[in-house]
Chains A and B, each alone.
Chain A
């Protein structure tokens, strides 16, 4: 039961046992969150700042609820409306914040590596809430928790990840995590969105969705990120839905007990059929949201324990 990280910047540096530790703790926070009285004092006295350089209502509120349930003082900063617009650099923003002595900094940024850069300049624990196309570790952890609870295990599963892999930080973090836990991963999508270089990560690539879903235990759909498209990755939404949209017919190639996941927000009728998304027997999309809060509670709890174990740094 160890968790030796100072920050949570990505899945890449985590060991399998650290992932297990975090998920175990998250399980207990699922229980806590389902009670009427949800408060814990794990983070009491600590200040949590959510710094979002990219809009995200869902992730930001999930982190906010997680922090508040653990008793932290939570502050949200929408960076688009602030000093960035006045030309302040990321490092100066970090140094300014650092002088206010936060303990946990939750950061989302449109550029890959920006959260790593920021973490080098502050004394507190930093959680990556998504940086460019790089990583989104808490999303992968909440997906892992959802799978583990639905399937009873997190290894030796056939997992199909479908859609826009090329532009997706969710896909990167999930591939890294699910490989660390020894699962078989297939990527499904058109070559423009699933570049062949991904084979070097030891995954299988399918352009035929039915083949890709065959005997899958888990079907993970990704959002078709329209805002990231330079234009022209796919011919049209309707052709995409025809070939790669998840419907009951395509899902029938997966195992009968296969679960359907989606990180949200969904484009109904583009990557997933609306009825299927709402089917409580197959879709675990609402559970994913619930697990998101629990995983973020666990991550912040573990990081704060490491934070409290370190001597207070006097220098700002």
Chain B
């Protein structure tokens, strides 16, 4: 296998919390050597001059939806993989909320095959926690683990039968499986299209109070305390939920939490005149909530950022707001969009990659996500400053439902490496 030497880079090390100039030698699928000098002498290596761009551990995106099986017209493993590579995502952790839910080892094997054949990046599948994500019977957690499921989740279907959930969590605990939940009180969120507040009132949209998130989280934490399961909250997006997370962590529960790129960078006002590409789940929050979420990410309370990539075709979105489908694509736009927080001074780069790469790797027990010798050479090389105007029709995803169409962004991926092999090079 040929070696690649990336010279004159700025290395982002999320473990050490540093950015330092240097070079990296990729060999045998791993980071063979890191150099403190920008132009080290190495023979027998293809050289790539980074021109002082940033080199970071590749993004591990927990919560990506691909349309297979069932909705391949919205996204296939091939197109999602290309979008991921172009966005610096080296590992997609996929959701089981497909048209046919991923709830049996057979379906899981099918998508693993599809991913292996078609996607240029790593794919780690999650499986449903209950059959059909219906919240009535647990799935074959043991078989699914053996088949390669890295976590168990019913995604946005909140299990309301607490007995079912306790048993599933207890069983998962006995096998050491990670359970991911969507903290939300469904009695309050049912039918909602926006977060309660002045804006939603003005627009006359059905709403969910932000407190519904904390109510869901409080219940889940009570069950975690009972069962001892390893728990991850998929998205925390409100200020009121954060003290509950802090308490749970302080009390030693094995819990982590994520948030989404959209809730870190947009607020409820962005919906403006019923723009359905801004309809996500949970709905966009107030600016106060957005700022609280960014602060929680900065201080490490919130562990992980995901794109919650949700491809929807035009027909699903070209409807009155209440009827339109939720979700946005994000694999390819996540890094430039989140760099807004870097440019505005809200987050530094090591903190950003702690949440994008290091923490997801740790939570899933992966070796990746680190800028250190011996770590897998899953890397993203990017220019943090390059300005561009996003054109949604140029995205690699089959679906083009991004709220950032025509947005002015700064930061472009130059190259993405998976196991030392370039899977994307910018034109």
Binding site for B on A (CB under 8 A): 12, 89-91, 109, 111-114, 116-117, 131-135, 169, 172, 195, 197-198, 200-201
Contact = CB atoms under 8 A, between A and B. Distances in A.
A112 B320 contact: yes
B318 interface: yes
A61 B224 CA distance: 60
Contact of A90 (B201, B202, B319): B319
Given A172-B204, A197-B196, A89 B319 contact: yes
B320 A133 contact: no
Nearest to A121: B318
Contacts of B205: 112-113, 132-133
Nearest to B191: A230
B367 interface: no
Nearest to B201: A197
A195 B309 CA distance: 34
B140 interface: no
Nearest to B200: A197
28 contacts: A89-B319, A90-B319, A91-B318, A111-B321, A111-B323, A112-B203, A112-B320, A112-B322, A113-B203, A113-B273, A113-B274, A113-B320, A113-B322, A114-B320, A117-B274, A117-B318, A131-B204, A132-B322, A133-B204, A133-B205, A133-B206, A134-B203, A134-B204, A135-B204, A172-B202, A195-B201, A197-B201, A200-B198
B315 interface: yes
B204 A112 contact: yes
Contacts of B273: 113, 116
Contacts of A201: 198, 201-202
A135 B201 CA distance: 11
**Cβ-closest 6 pairs across A and B:** A133-B204, A113-B274, A134-B204, A111-B320, A112-B204, A114-B320
A201 B202 CA distance: 9
Q: How large is the interface on B (under 10, 10 to 19, 20 to 34, 35 or more residues)?
A: 10 to 19
Given A113-B322, A201-B202, 20 more contacts: A12-B202, A90-B320, A111-B322, A111-B323, A112-B203, A112-B204, A112-B274, A112-B320, A112-B321, A113-B274, A114-B320, A117-B318, A117-B320, A132-B204, A172-B202, A197-B198, A197-B201, A200-B198, A201-B198, A201-B201
Contacts of A111: 320-323
A195 B201 CA distance: 9
Nearest to B315: A89
B197 interface: yes
| Highest count of chain B CB atoms <10 Å: which of A12, A112, A131, A201 | A112
B192 to A, nearest CB: 12
B190 to A, nearest CB: 10
B201 A198 contact: yes
Contacts of B203: 112-113, 134
A53 B274 CA distance: 19
Interface of B: 196-198, 201-206, 273-274, 315, 318-323
A200 B14 CA distance: 43
A12 B204 CA distance: 13
A98 B320 CA distance: 18
A128 B198 CA distance: 22
A144 B19 CA distance: 63
A157 to B, nearest CB: 23
B118 to A, nearest CB: 32
Nearest to B190: A230
A197 B197 contact: yes
Contacts of A12: 202
Contacts of B319: 89-91, 117
Contacts of B201: 172, 195, 197-198, 200-201
A12 B273 CA distance: 11
Contacts of A133: 204-206
Contacts of B322: 111-113, 132
Contacts of B274: 112-113, 116-117
A132 B319 CA distance: 14
A109 B204 contact: no
A89 B204 contact: no
Nearest to B193: A112
Given A131-B204, A134-B204, A109 B320 contact: yes
Contacts of B204: 112-113, 131-135, 169, 172
Contacts of B318: 89, 91, 117
A89 B203 CA distance: 21
A171 to B, nearest CB: 10
Nearest to B274: A113
Nearest to A230: B191
Nearest to B198: A200
Nearest to A119: B273
A117 B319 CA distance: 8
A200 B323 CA distance: 27
| Highest count of chain A CB atoms <10 Å: which of B201, B206, B315 | B201
Contacts of A91: 318-319
Nearest to A134: B204
Contacts of B206: 133
Contacts of B315: 89
Contacts of A135: 204
Nearest to A114: B320
A251 B198 CA distance: 31
A96 to B, nearest CB: 15
A114 B203 CA distance: 11
| Highest count of chain B CB atoms <10 Å: which of A111, A135, A200, A201 | A111
Nearest to A197: B201
A12 B322 CA distance: 20
A89 B316 CA distance: 10
A133 B274 CA distance: 13
A198 B319 CA distance: 27
Contacts of A112: 203-205, 274, 320-322
A133 B321 CA distance: 12
B193 to A, nearest CB: 8
Contacts of B202: 12, 172, 201
B142 to A, nearest CB: 42
A117 B322 CA distance: 12
A201 B242 CA distance: 29
A195 B197 CA distance: 10
Contacts of B321: 111-113
B311 to A, nearest CB: 19
| Highest count of chain A CB atoms <10 Å: which of B315, B320, B322 | B320
